[in-house]
Amino acid sequence: MDSFIGTVVTAKVTDENDDAYFVQYEGQTLLVDKQEPEKPLHIGRLYEGFVYENEDHRLQLTRHVPEISFDHFVWGTVVRTRHDLGVFVDVGLPNKDIVVSLDELPTISRLWPQKGDRLYVKLTRDSKQRLWANLAEMTDFQAIAKPYDRETVKNADGAATVFRLKMAGTSVITDDGYLGFVHPSERNQEPRLGQHLKVRVIGHLRDGELNLSLKPRGYEEIGDDAQMLLAALQHQADHQLPFWDKSDPADIRQAFGISKSQFKRAVGNLLKQRLITQETGMIKLVDAENGPAED
């Protein structure tokens, strides 16, 4: 009876009250918010719009037809979760958010999308004619993904949205439209579905996906003391400092405000990251002309 839910129909105006017009389509009465039409509707007039069940479980017709459909995906924003049902996604309908069923979500609830996350979804309709949102699959993302230029993306920073979680790793699509994959070794914790992440390119996979990492570069991962030494070196005209691991503790504290042991740990960290070299009486920035070396 309500198989037209989720479609665009043309219905006839039959009645009105203070808040809504009422239209008829295939023997069903649908309401139209009275604030929606630009001009008053008259009895007998035809009105075209998208049919859905609003949050009060009444059939409603809106001329603001959403981009989402049964065969067209859109990015929907998560607005809330209900652990006995799923996550509610805003796809552009007045007074109605569409649910992604918990059956499509990770079994671990902490990996569920949170408010503000994004999901790529299309409409589906169950046997009771209720609208749901279906998550896109890998083939759907492959259909919209763009090819990338290896030299352009080499070691580049970017951002991406998680769309699939597997034991083998995390599948994402970047803001530039490239498919990417994050191996578990390249993250400190598993991201949640729909999460927007900062990523960096570390390589290329045989299937055309970017090999991505969620971990910072080595020089971004160093501690505060090492960062201070690195900044001091970068601000020197010759990119070197007259200190090393055998310098007097008092001189180190006067210059940097840290103990000699802290200084040695910081120097060791920078040496390990190959950001500096150490010579008798001094430390020096590596690749001074081009800045710190990257992974």
pLDDT score at 1: 47
* Structure-block tokens of residue 176: 């530039």
pLDDT score at 224: 83
Residue 67 lies in a domain: no
Cross-sheet strand order for the sheet of 131-135 = 98-101, 86-90, 74-82, 118-125, 131-135
155 lies in the same domain as 205: yes
Residue 163 lies in a domain: yes
How much is the average pLDDT of 194-223? Answer: 86
Closest CA to 243 of 276, 274, 287, 220: 276
pLDDT tops 90 at residue 3: no
pLDDT tops 90 at residue 206: no
Domain end, chosen from 153, 180, 213, is at 213
Range of the domain at 30: 8-62
Domain count, the chain: 4
Residue 114 lies in a domain: yes
pLDDT score at 164: 97
The radius of gyration of the chain's CA atoms, rounded to the nearest angstrom, is 29
Read off the CATH number of the domain in which 79 is found.
2.40.50.140
Residue 291 lies in a domain: no
pLDDT score at 295: 40
Residue 294 lies in a domain: no
275 lies in the same domain as 228: yes
Angle between helices 260-272 and 249-256 (to 10 degrees): 80
Domain end, chosen from 213, 229, 250, is at 213
132 in Cβ contact with 100 (< 8 Å):
yes
262 lies in the same domain as 237: yes
pLDDT score at 290: 40
CA 139 to chain centre: 19
241 lies in the same domain as 281: yes
86 lies in the same domain as 54: no
232 lies in the same domain as 281: yes
**Count of residues making up the chain:** 295
pLDDT score at 219: 58
pLDDT score at 32: 97
Q: What's the whole-model pTM score? A: 0.75
252 lies in the same domain as 196: no
Residue 3 lies in a domain: no
Residue 244 lies in a domain: yes
pLDDT 10s digits, 250-261: 999 999 999 999
203 in Cβ contact with 189 (< 8 Å):
no
pLDDT score at 2: 60
Read off the CATH number of the domain in which 232 is found.
1.10.10.10
155 lies in the same domain as 189: yes
pLDDT 10s digits, 42-93: 999 999 999 999 999 999 999 999 999 999 999 999 999 999 999 999 999 9
Q: Report how far residue 12's alpha carbon sits from residue 6's, in angstroms, rounded to the nearest whole number.
A: 18
pLDDT tier, 17 (very low <50, low <70, confident <90, very high otherwise): very high
pLDDT 10s digits, 110-133: 999 999 999 999 999 999 889 999
pLDDT 10s digits, 144-189: 999 999 889 988 999 999 999 999 999 999 999 999 999 999 998 9
Residue 23 lies in a domain: yes
End-to-end CA distance of the chain: 61
Read off the CATH number of the domain in which 40 is found.
2.40.50.330
